[in-house]
Structure 1
Amino acid sequence: MKFWLTLFVSCSILFFQGCSSDKKRKDEDKNMSSPQTLKREKITLQDVYGKSIQANPTEKGFTFSGFENKVVLVNFFTTWCPPCKAEIPHLINLQEKYKEHFVIISVLLEENKSNEEIQSFIKFNAINYIITNGPENFEFAKNVGGVKNIPFMFLYDRNGNYSTHYVGAIPEEMIDADIKKVL
């Protein structure tokens, strides 16, 4: 019984804390700017089908070309992260529920993944939201202040203003409530 309890607690901690690499975290900490010195630039993200999305910094967040006047959830993830995979059905539900006024832009933080591999991942998981892939994704992660754990999400209102963020696996109901607040 003790074994199962320990196993359950360990898995729960991993699931709710998200995935990270201690070595990667130490390397990122050395290279991170403080929020006061953070230089935010326009970044052009590429979705896996070749469409460009311009991420434009604003005073209080980001706007995304093609998604003006929409609430945007930016989701940083990897395909190997169990909590990232566990969130997929919830993100699919939210995208479907709010499709008229809301968009999810998932930013893949993996190197050497081809668009074809990610397209297969999309098809296998029946994903109905945007996934970007490329070296620009890492630049964008720096522009938002650095991403140390995944999944990591930012919610921006219709004007591109920061609303909230989420670290680790988050209940769908919590994100849903936050979306309703900014709609």
Structure 2
Amino acid sequence: MLFRYNLDYYTQRKSLKKVYSLLFIIILFVLGGCDDKKNKNSTIVTENTTQIVQTDKNESFPEKNISLNGNVTQIATYAFTLSDLQQKSHKGTLKDRAIFLEGINTPVVIFHFFATWCPPCAGEAPYLSDLQQKYPQELFIAGITVNDTPTREVLEKFIQENHADYYISTTLENDALATKIAEGLDLDSNFSLPLTIIYHNGKYFSHYEGAVPIEILEHDIREAIKDLKQE
């Protein structure tokens, strides 16, 4: 499996460019050396530590309505269930780039696709925990394993060693959900890990393919909360 990260920083935020560049160099230094390959039959994800890709928030995507015999139909709704080690489940629906999770009332939701064998994913875990603790009323983070079927022991070790104190789903449905979301974002099926998607009020806000400095992620969370207050 090839390892790669793509880079596309906020070009419109010139005042932060130097800071982000420095943080990016630090990230590479800390998380570098990912030259071990994870052999999997699935071609869902790859892992790499060289570049970061982040789309502009609220990026416009082409419509994907399906035409049957000349009639345009609505995109089908995909149902899924997240479930953690304590068997705490959240049923959800996905339609194109919009999501709904039962029992989750926070205005901002983050889906963080990761694998226990991915060093950059482990590196981001404690910072995600900090964000979850900092914004308990506004934010719900769902770590979602992909291309990975860790045993309970392996996952508990990952959580403990990396202080991953947020919701983590390990169901067999995760790979299918990842594929559906990747299709909606026009991502290659072989997308990079970690993959982080921000939603506000169920609507797509922004996403990052690859490791991302915590300052950038928190900036987008603040922007999402700010936008919601203005609606």
Q: Deviations over 1:126-166 (max 9, x none)?
A: 22101110210011101202561100010000x20000000
Residue 156 of structure 1 aligns to which amino acid in structure 2? Y
CA spacing shift, 1:151–1:180, aligned 2, 3 Å: same
Cα 1:20/1:102, change in 2 over 3 Å: farther
Larger radius of gyration: 2
Task: Point out 4+ residue stretches in structure 1 off by more than 4 angstroms.
Answer: 18-29, 37-40
Distance 1:21 1:99, change over 3 A: same
Instruction: State the partner residue of 1:81.
Output: 118
- In structure 1, stretches of 5+ residues that fail to align are 1-8
Q: Secondary structure at the residue paired with 1:56? A: strand
Sort the Cα spacing of 1:19 and 1:147 in 2 relative to 1 into closer, same or farther, 3 A: farther
Contact 1:74 1:104 in 2 (8 A): yes
**8 Å Cα contact 1:107-1:132 kept in structure 2:** yes
The two structures have a TM-score, normalised by structure 2, of 0.62
Match of 2:199 in 1: 156
Higher relative contact order (CA 8 A, sep 6+): 1
Secondary structure of the residue that 1:66 maps to in structure 2? Answer: coil
Matching residue of 1:6: none
Aligned to 2:11: none
Q: What is the distance in 2 between the residues matched to 1:178 and 1:35?
A: 24
Question: Closer, same or farther in 2 for the Cα pair 1:20/1:130, shift >3 Å?
Answer: farther
Instruction: Indicate the residue corresponding to 1:5 in structure 2.
Output: none
Counterpart pick for 1:177 among 211, 216, 219? 219
Correspondence for 2:28: 12
Given the alignment of the two structures, is residue 134 of structure 1 paired with residue 171 of structure 2, yes or no?
yes
Corresponding residue pairs, total: 168
Distance 1:23 1:169 in 2: 21
Give the 3 Å change call, closer, same or farther, for CA 112–73 of structure 1 in structure 2.
closer
Q: CA RMSD in A?
A: 3.4
Task: Give the residue type in structure 2 aligned to 1:154.
Answer: I
Q: Identify the range of structure 1 (61-70 vs 84-93) with the bigger mean alpha-carbon deviation.
A: 61-70
Provide TM-score, normalisation by structure 1. Answer: 0.76
Of all paired residues, the percent bearing the same amino acid is 28
Higher helix residue share: 1
- Stretches of structure 2 lacking an aligned partner (at least 5 in a row): 1-24, 46-61, 67-74, 184-188, 226-231
Task: Supply the AA of the counterpart residue of 2:114.
Answer: F
1:125 equivalenced with 2:162 (yes/no): yes
Instruction: Tell me the alpha carbon deviations over residues 101-138 of structure 1, each in whole angstroms, 9 at most, x when there is no partner.
Output: 10110101144312343123212322210111021001
